[in-house]
Structure 1
């Protein structure tokens, strides 16, 4: 359980890092703002026409008497919007990272140099266009996995009691896992770690991943928060990636704090 606290501290340390690097933080807001406008437009459209979509998809209920017809379709509309919100949280990171790929690569490298004992940052050695292709391909694969989980959670939402209690909690943990995968991919791709191996690393340390990703998933549910947390989340995910790879994190923090490395925290 100690890994939960370690993961959360990485998230906080990432936010502190970008707070001291204002220029990089400012540029890091732009991709998130662009993505936010696109997603907000899609969610508003769903809110306006979601009930019509549900009505079109459930013609068998046209002859139901009141109030059952309204309750049934109203519930489906609410669940549909909740599913869209869940998917938007998961895919927001992927789209924002893709739009802001050059900046976030630079930010992640800077964090690596700050905390590396030798001041060096790993480099993939791949051309930019190939890095973009790998990032887009892997992001699409993660989005598909997240969508499958979303459909499953959507179906479980119809189960009485469980669907209104356990399923939302499970949804936050699932979202936190996929958010963390997308964020750590920035640093891990530079280390030439492919998607399958990245997922294996994350699954082996689920408690650490949830400590980082679950609070972030909850924060991302608040409008506009995701935009302001994205740069710091990338910075924190770089620290997390070093932990997952067993790389040393220098104890001398840029902010002057002395925090133990994750190996000591996690009891390695």
Structure 2
């Protein structure tokens, strides 16, 4: 299991290899990530500024407590709120970035498929399918944020378990979402995908956790997104190969013309 988890991390690192072979595409992949980050910052900065007021509002029962206990409690509540907000922000960032940058990420995905050989004849989904998946991702992210917040409020251990649960659950969700383009192109049913994920749980989790941790680094979300799209394509191919389903039937859609060499090196 540890070996598979580490393999998932290495898959993300392999995604950075596209900077060497297709630097133009990877640079273009930064643009939607920057736009999404600016939009998210407009929501997160006011929340961070108002954290003292929010934590005070959530803990009226501690008003009569002596210091330092009142301050420690409210600091812990603020920490949990930030952990939940970051879990949700990571998911919203991915949804926004993938939707805004669909044409760019479509080309990154296609470049990896071509480089690995035996690329599927269908494309990786339309803008509207990306928008629908983005909305679903946001809804699941809200549920994860609520769960992280509830776990974080558990006395004594919540401040430790909440952030860990956020990283693990959000990472897993991100990995499943990012591999969707490769599976959509192969017209795999939800049942087929469930089989693939069940056979590579640790590898998928390693990839997702590594991606999520990179998102938490200042500026890391922007830098990692093109590599995450490339790496997720490699992860999907690895899962197909490991399950012995690399030759699963694909759609009969005629082979589309190759994408225009937008930003290609």
Query: TM-score interval w.r.t. the shorter chain?
Result: 0.7 to 0.9
C-alpha distance in structure 1 between counterparts of 2:163 and 2:79, whole Å: 13
**3-state SS in 1 of match to 2:187:** coil
1:212 CA drift (Å): 1.2
TM-score for both structures, normalised by structure 2:
0.80
1:215 aligns with: 210
**3-state SS in 2 of match to 1:160:** coil
1:170 CA drift (Å): 2.8
C-alpha distance in structure 2 between counterparts of 1:160 and 1:62, whole Å: 14
Q: Which one of 131, 137, 147 corresponds to residue 136 of structure 1?
A: 131
Please list every run of 5 or more consecutive structure 1 residues that lacks an aligned counterpart in the other structure: 250-268
C-alpha distance in structure 2 between counterparts of 1:88 and 1:100, whole Å: 17
The answer to whether the 8 A contact 2:5-2:202 is kept is yes
2:251 aligns with: none
The answer to whether the 8 A contact 1:180-1:209 is kept is yes
1:201 aligned onto 2:196 = yes
Write the deviation string for residues 174-210 of structure 1: whole angstroms up to 9, x where unpaired.
1210111121122222222356754553244210101
State how many pairs are aligned: 242
| Alpha carbons of structure 1 residues 155 and 16: separation in structure 2 relative to 1, 3 Å | same
C-alpha distance in structure 2 between counterparts of 1:85 and 1:125, whole Å: 28
**Equivalence map 1:138-153=2 (5 Å):** 138-153=133-148
Indicate the RMSD between aligned Cα atoms, in angstroms. 2.6
1:177 aligned onto 2:172 = yes
| Alpha carbons of structure 1 residues 16 and 176: separation in structure 2 relative to 1, 3 Å | same
The answer to whether the 8 A contact 2:124-2:182 is kept is no
Between stretches 45-54 and 203-212, larger displacement belongs to: 45-54
Write the deviation string for residues 85-130 of structure 1: whole angstroms up to 9, x where unpaired.
12112222121111101110111011101111x4x3341497xxxx
The answer to whether the 8 A contact 2:83-2:148 is kept is no
1:70 CA drift (Å): 4.6
